[in-house]
Amino acid sequence: EAEFERAVRGDDGRRFPWGDDSPSHDLTVYSTDSTEDVGAHPDGRGPYGHDDLAGNVWEWMEDYYDPFAYVRPTADVGEPGSCEDILETQDQLRRDHRQGFTGTNPIPTECEHAIRGGAYNYGADGLRASNRVHHPAHFRIPMLGFRCAWDPTIQPVAD
């Protein structure tokens, strides 16, 4: 999840992949009823050249959603706690009669994965680099995808 946010924000801490300007339909796909081809909005590319980091489809994160990943004292900033840490935090929030993390959603009873980036059917505010949502692993919707990442410094193992 932290890697995704870095890809969106770059070195200058921008709010959206293309900078700090509000979303427009020239930059990305949002507030509509369908996706568009990947790369259809080159002016909306991120600072490292990635297409569609905001809008089009949500991006599934490998990391569990930790509501305190950016403030948890026992982890690096942006790194989620363990599933056990997250569940304990969620149990405490329930005991304290707190609301869910994203609007009126209930507090999860299992470790859920983070999803980022917003989607074609989402409003402009949901495209911010800081927007974080969560869903369980069995969750399926047509506006959710995933992105494969590759580290060019890692060499493949020879046969």
The per-residue pLDDT for range 10-20, each reduced to its tens digit, is: 999 999 999 99
DSSP secondary structure letters along 78-129: T----HHHHHHHHHHHHHTTPPPSSTTPPPPSS--EEEES--TTS-GGGGST
Residue 103's pLDDT band (cuts 50, 70, 90): low
Question: Of 114, 141, 124, 134, which is closest to residue 57 (Cα–Cα)?
Answer: 141
Question: Of 104, 101, 125, 127, which is closest to residue 116 (Cα–Cα)?
Answer: 127
What is the percent of the chain where pLDDT is above 70?
A: 91
Question: Of 50, 57, 54, which is closest to residue 143 (Cα–Cα)?
Answer: 57
User: What are the sequence ranges of the domains in the chain?
Assistant: 1-148
d(CA 133, CA 116): 6
Q: Give pLDDT, residue 74.
A: 58
d(CA 68, CA 142): 28
Spatial CB neighbours of 66, under 8 Å, sequence gap ≥ 6: 72, 80, 81, 85, 86, 89, 114
Which pTM does this prediction carry? 0.80
d(CA 157, CA 33): 44
* 1-148 fold: paralog of FGE (formylglycine-generating enzyme) (3.90.1580)
Q: What is the pLDDT of residues 118-142, one digit of tens each?
A: 999 999 999 999 998 888 888 888 8
Predicted confidence (pLDDT) at residue 75 exceeds the cutoff of 60: no
Q: What is the pLDDT of residues 11-57, one digit of tens each?
A: 999 999 999 999 999 999 999 999 999 999 999 999 999 999 999 99
Predicted confidence (pLDDT) at residue 78 exceeds the cutoff of 60: no
